[in-house]
A and B are shown apart, each in its own frame.
Chain A
């Protein structure tokens, strides 16, 4: 059986914040923000004239407005910038209507396409957003406008929350789950249950049978990858392809997904979890400009 330390929060992924070292918000440009309140994580992004200035990525609390406030506060920390200087803000994500200081709410589907276009370039045509509680396959044009999309229905399998459950069950930190799942000589058959709760029971059974953690994680990551592939195939993957959201940091899922699709996802230096908030900030800028016209 896996050794699990009681009370340790294996699921707790690394929160982050960043400020551009070579930009100044006082330059007089349009300051726009995007706040993406997801079911698991919240991101706040601030852009100056459509360039990334600072961001924060943290866990969503039980209260959406508070999560939005906290993420924005952390993003602005140490920049000297305050909320009242921001010209326009777009709220997006699961809690998009609960961002207290937002000019407008726009869906995370539109925002991920727009943000993906910014992060990966205009050649991106398919974006897979693997979020905390759902998963979206998005097709877009060269401007980052959505042309088609699909979401998984009514089930958290294949999402971040499911991965957190497994991380806790096995006592493996969530940041290490992906790499560990690749440490198997041979790929085991995938976990068969699509429901997170049943998959967890199935995994407990495998552990009792003496499966090492690596093998159980491999079985779960490959099940997740497979489920996402079936979603993607319904909409069709056109190159270039990019993955956003928390699960895109899980190399165990991503590598299996790329192999099954025979497509290599584009890479980015930015945190792929902030794609939605970037899209929101870009829409906020467009809204501000539109109002000015």
Chain B
């Protein structure tokens, strides 16, 4: 059953097209996990995350700086190559300059009936952030209502919250199983599950996940003696890389990135006004580095993950030219090493030079094990 997610991941476009045909609904492509999918589900719109394809391309160069991160260039290339031609709308919630450029360029060159820039505050640690965001959501909701021609009620919002929370809670249960020493799911399969949840209608994904959780109870990957690793970074859906790492004597058991826990870990505490609850969730969720200041709140969670999931080493994946993440790296390295977790830093581009990374990963694993050869 677990193979389903890989199929979904690979056939993301076919899935969305079929969903549209089947339901007659609208599909919206979003650029960042700060987009409040609760509101989109409330509106009956299917949100799908726009991700790159990790293939070389030659179409984005005239539209986006070559020294912007490979991820945003790869995302834009998908649009320019017509792979998301079925989208009825696109949106972004303010996160970083680079992905915003991908969004604005997309908006300029690939017209859709709806496009929206949501002013997500950067200073999420401000006591006014949630209130501000709630106001922004009000404006956003009225635009969505105009677009779909359908009113969004509080009950709709509560339904949106339930759909999102159910998916989050299930994914957390999946991640709980990765604490086991005989880890029942590989890092690659877990990645497929999370990324599929960003592309597949959440209730359908949740039904499948309920089945998989039962299956995981008795499952083994045969990786009991493998070195336990965690992956840190921005978005890490690089199949070739994860496959390479797990082809060695290693298994990825936990992560902090937005195709992983940063996407789903925090739920909406749904008491009272639903819009306030949603706004609080996005302000309080584990932040991405663009918003993680003046206090670095990510660190506590990273260290907790490292400890509870019993990881020996962390691979920090840096998208080339991603300044917000790069600024955090010295602090992350220091904190992890002080906690006894070794760190391997790798800089990624659109395509992965797998041979060059392989030697670094192998040497890292040798560093973490093979005591008996000395």
A106, A107, A149 — which one has the most chain B CB atoms within 10 A of its CB? A107
Whether A109 contacts B373 by the Cβ 8 Å rule is: no
Whether B374 contacts A107 by the Cβ 8 Å rule is: no
Contacting residues of chain B (342-372) with chain A, CB-CB under 8 angstroms: 342, 347, 353, 356, 359-360, 362-363, 366-367, 370-372
Residue of A nearest to B366 (CB): A110
A154 CA to B372 CA, complexed, in Å = 33
Instruction: Output the least CB separation between B332 and chain A (Å).
Output: 15
Instruction: Output the least CB separation between B137 and chain A (Å).
Output: 43
- Do A106 and B372 contact each other (CB < 8 Å), given the known contacts A151-B360, A154-B353, A154-B356? no
Instruction: Output the least CB separation between B321 and chain A (Å).
Output: 13
Residue of A nearest to B365 (CB): A107
Interface residue from B347, B367, B371 paired with A110 (Cβ < 8 Å): B367
Interface size class of A (residues with CB under 8 A): 10 to 19
Main secondary structure on B side of the interface with A: helix
- Contact residues in A for B359 (Cβ distance below 8 Å): 107-109, 151
Interface residue from A107, A149, A154, A287 paired with B373 (Cβ < 8 Å): A287
A22 within 8 A of B: no
- Contact residues in A for B373 (Cβ distance below 8 Å): 283, 286-287, 290
A287 CA to B374 CA, complexed, in Å = 10
Whether B367 contacts A147 by the Cβ 8 Å rule is: yes
Whether A145 contacts B347 by the Cβ 8 Å rule is: no
Residue of A nearest to B346 (CB): A153
Interface residue from B353, B362, B372 paired with A107 (Cβ < 8 Å): B362
- Contact residues in A for B356 (Cβ distance below 8 Å): 151, 153-154
Interface residue from B342, B347, B374 paired with A144 (Cβ < 8 Å): B374
- Contact residues in B for A107 (Cβ distance below 8 Å): 359, 362-363, 366
Instruction: Output the least CB separation between A84 and chain B (Å).
Output: 24
- Do A143 and B363 contact each other (CB < 8 Å), given the known contacts A153-B347, A154-B353? no
Whether A109 contacts B372 by the Cβ 8 Å rule is: no
Whether B374 contacts A109 by the Cβ 8 Å rule is: no
A145 CA to B362 CA, complexed, in Å = 14
A146 within 8 A of B: yes
Instruction: Output the least CB separation between A217 and chain B (Å).
Output: 29
- Contact residues in B for A286 (Cβ distance below 8 Å): 372-374
- Do A145 and B360 contact each other (CB < 8 Å), given the known contacts A106-B366, A110-B367, A153-B347? no
A107 CA to B371 CA, complexed, in Å = 15
Residue of A nearest to B345 (CB): A150
- Contact residues in A for B370 (Cβ distance below 8 Å): 110
When each residue 272-288 of chain A gets 1 if its CB lies under 8 Å from chain B and 0 otherwise, what string results?
A: 00000000000100110
Whether A145 contacts B367 by the Cβ 8 Å rule is: yes
Whether A109 contacts B353 by the Cβ 8 Å rule is: no
B residues lining the A interface (CB < 8 Å): 342, 347, 353, 356, 359-360, 362-363, 366-367, 370-374
Given A143-B374, A146-B363, A286-B374, 11 more A-B residue pairs with CB atoms under 8 Å apart are: A108-B359, A110-B363, A110-B370, A145-B367, A146-B366, A147-B367, A148-B342, A148-B367, A149-B363, A154-B356, A286-B373
